[in-house]
A and B are shown apart, each in its own frame.
Chain A
Amino acid sequence: MPLKRPISVWSEVTPKRVYLNRRRFMAGAMLAAAAHRLIAGARLNVALKSPFSTSEPQTSLDVITHYNNFYEFGTDKAQPANLARDFKTSPWTVSVEGAVSKPRTFDLDMLMKLAPLEERIYRHRCVEGWSIVVPWIGFPLNALIKQVEPLSSAKFVAFQSSFDHRQMPQAQWAGIAFPYVEGLRIDEAVHPLTLLAVGLYGEALPNQDGAPIRLVVPWKYGFKSIKSIVKIRFVEQQPPTTWNLATPREYGFYSNVNPTVDHPRWSQAKERRLGEFFKRPTLMFNGYGDQVASLYAGMDLRKNY
């Protein structure tokens, strides 16, 4: 059951290392309190703890913010921490459109009021073979979906990231097409595990982690969890997805974490949890099989990789 949780507990979770200077942090906190604005590092009001959270040790904020695959800001994992620093995340709107009764454009204030913010401590498994544990802050994507009332013809949800080549000059070298696009089947999108995250470690998302709002789908490889979302479109056909467009043989639409189906170039049987020396076995659906395996009943997951 969700528990009421006093905000003061956050001080115990958040590591002492503060990566923003104090003045900017305080200004951000005040703004957030005043207008729910998501300034990177602003402290969030987190009302709920989630039963979906893992009790595994959380990866440090330092690692989560300095080991990022965010190709718009460079293909080296250390680059986004520097190159996304001045990324403009306010004002920000997310346009929700397509096969819905009530298409709407949400600004961040509206998004923040859709549902109480929850802490969700999720495992995050990258297709490259490493994993982390992240204390996300956000709300179920389904809370937003309910607002727009999808039509029965809506079978898939397509997501699009922000793309601005002036703010993302490194993107030209990434070797993949932008804007970054992703997609889910509608039943995956409304699944209670599927999260729209606006923060981590009790604070608004750092830019390099997909500020101001990103998707988190913990049973799929990390690249499905699209960052810095500006558009959500309900569609009838399976939408194109960035990595599948780049290398269809290697990255499928589903991309569920699956230790029995290898990436053509490397094994997916094991993973290295950042901070650990030995590799650990990768779990089917990243350990979320009890919640999501039924979504794929009867499907050949070797074909639908």
Chain B
Amino acid sequence: MREWISAKTTKVAVFLLALAPLAWLAAHPLGPNPVETITHATGDWTLRFLVLTLAVTPLRKLLGLPELIRYRRMLGLFAFFYGSLHFLTYLWLDKFFDTADILKDVYKRPFITAGFTGFVLLIPLAVTSTAGWILRLGGKRWRMLHRLVYVSALAGVVHYYWLVKSDVRGPLLYCALVVVLLLWRANSSLRSRTSR
């Protein structure tokens, strides 16, 4: 198992698998409202990759598989990748780069504000995701900075919750996943502090 996780081919396979939603979108008929289909799909996959990224650390500990760390950066960058596509879809296909309209949206519409915040917070994390940046910042500061992903994931969930009309099953599912993953962290950091 451990060797399999660490194998180069596995990593390549995970990379290709993470691109599958994009391939599916490109190959599939997009239905009566293509822009809506693209917006929803890229938004969903951003949240899914955020959840997967946040699940890496708990899974490493729970399954006793520290090797899983090899996938965390990739999954996080895919969250940023789908988030960028989602944001670009909004800028281009929804707003046609109408800056005034976009600024009004970000200012006036809480769900846009939340989504925009969630996306912007991912930018510094994507930029500093390299080994060079970890060295430059130092492990401790780098880890502090990258805790922003918690805020980003929560902002993403709030963005989703605030945009649906009445059926909140989807947002509540992601909310539950993110909260469980954050509570696990809170609990384990409390425990390590008390045992010290």
Contacts and interface: CB of A to CB of B under 8 A. Distances in A.
Interface of A: 62-63, 66-67, 71, 75, 77-78, 128, 130, 173-176, 246-247, 265-267, 272, 274-275, 278-279
Contacts of A71: 166-167
Given A265-B109, A265-B111, A279-B96, A176 B32 contact: no
A302 to B, nearest CB: 16
A130 B35 CA distance: 11
B166 A175 contact: yes
A75 B167 contact: yes
Main secondary structure of the interface of A (DSSP, over half): loop
A265 B32 contact: no
Given A175-B167, A265-B162, A272 B35 contact: yes
B17 to A, nearest CB: 25
Nearest to A127: B165
Interface of B: 31-33, 35-36, 96, 101, 104-105, 109-111, 162-163, 165-169
Contacts of A78: 31
A206 B173 CA distance: 33
A246 B164 CA distance: 13
A175 B166 CA distance: 5
B148 to A, nearest CB: 26
A173 B167 contact: yes
A266 B109 contact: yes
B166 A75 contact: yes
Contacts of B31: 66-67, 78
A175 B168 contact: yes
Given A66-B32, A267-B105, 10 more contacts: A63-B32, A77-B32, A173-B167, A175-B167, A176-B166, A265-B109, A265-B110, A265-B111, A272-B33, A278-B96
Contacts of A278: 96
Contacts of A265: 109-111, 162-163
Contacts of B165: 75, 128, 175, 247
Nearest to A75: B167
A178 B31 CA distance: 28
A252 to B, nearest CB: 15
A71 B36 CA distance: 18
A174 B166 contact: yes
Could you say which of A71, A128, A265, A278 has the most chain B C-beta atoms within 10 Å of its C-beta? A265
Contacts of B110: 265
A176 B110 CA distance: 22
B169 A130 contact: no
Contacts of A62: 32
Contacts of B36: 130
A265 B168 CA distance: 16
| Among B33, B35, B105, B110: residue with most chain A CB under 10 A | B33
Q: Which 10 A-B pairs have the closest CB atoms?
A: A175-B166, A75-B167, A67-B32, A63-B32, A175-B167, A176-B166, A274-B32, A265-B109, A246-B166, A173-B167
Nearest to B170: A75
Most buried by A among B105, B165, B167: B165
Contacts of A272: 33, 35
In this complex, the member of B31, B32, B162, B163 whose beta carbon has the largest number of chain A beta carbons within 10 angstroms is B32
A267 B35 CA distance: 17
B33 A274 contact: yes
